[in-house]
């Protein structure tokens, strides 16, 4: 469980953890699939990576609905991991996602959603 008192430095620690994760994932792109799960995901291709992301999202939801905090944390970690792999496969980064979140900051979620163009 996350210690409430430890959240003061959590922002930097979180950024450092995510930066290390992203760097590790990117370093394994094109690697030996028999030696690395990440390399194996990249070798399987985007549809499989997206499928794994979806599976982890469902597992996170199930754990949350069940009220299982420790399991939710584990599944959320898997979800972030697989999202980071998908982003790397698309030559996107967590910084791209953070920029979008920054853009939305201070904007009502209802207003932001209403302003989206419908395809």
pLDDT of residue 2: 47
CATH code where residue 41 lies? 1.10.287.1080
Residue 16: Cβ-neighbour burial (10 angstroms; 0-12, 13-18, 19+): exposed
pTM of the model: 0.82
pLDDT of residue 115: 76
pLDDT of residue 96: 96
Cβ proximity of 86 and 38 under 8 Å? no
* Residue 81 domain boundaries: 13-95
Let me know if residue 18 belongs to a domain. Answer: yes
Let me know if residue 119 belongs to a domain. Answer: no
Let me know if residue 23 belongs to a domain. Answer: yes
CB within 8 Å of 76: residues ≥ 6 apart:
60
Q: Which helix (H) or strand (E) holds 72?
A: helix 69-89
Q: For 17-42, what is each residue's pLDDT tens digit?
A: 999 999 999 999 999 999 999 999 99
Let me know if residue 3 belongs to a domain. Answer: no
Q: Give the residue among 14, 27, 36 at the shortest CA–CA distance from 80.
A: 14
For the chain, what is the domain count? 1
Q: Give the residue among 98, 90, 101 at the shortest CA–CA distance from 50.
A: 90
Cβ proximity of 80 and 20 under 8 Å? no
Cβ proximity of 87 and 100 under 8 Å? no
Q: For 53-92, what is each residue's pLDDT tens digit?
A: 999 999 999 999 999 999 999 999 999 999 999 999 999 9
């Amino acid at each position: 469980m996350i210690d409430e008192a430890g959240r003061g430095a959590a922002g930097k620690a979180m950024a450092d953890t995510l930066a290390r994760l992203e760097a590790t994932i990117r370093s394994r792109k094109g690697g030996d699939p028999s030696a690395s799960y990440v390399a194996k995901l990249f070798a399987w291709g985007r549809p499989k990576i997206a499928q794994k992301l979806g599976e982890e999202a469902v597992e996170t939801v199930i754990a949350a609905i069940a009220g299982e905090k420790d399991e939710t944390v584990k599944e959320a970690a898997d979800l972030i991991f697989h999202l980071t792999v998908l982003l790397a496969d698309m030559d996107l980064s967590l910084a791209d996602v953070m920029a979008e979140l920054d853009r939305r900051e201070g904007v009502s979620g209802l207003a932001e959603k209403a302003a989206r163009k419908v395809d």
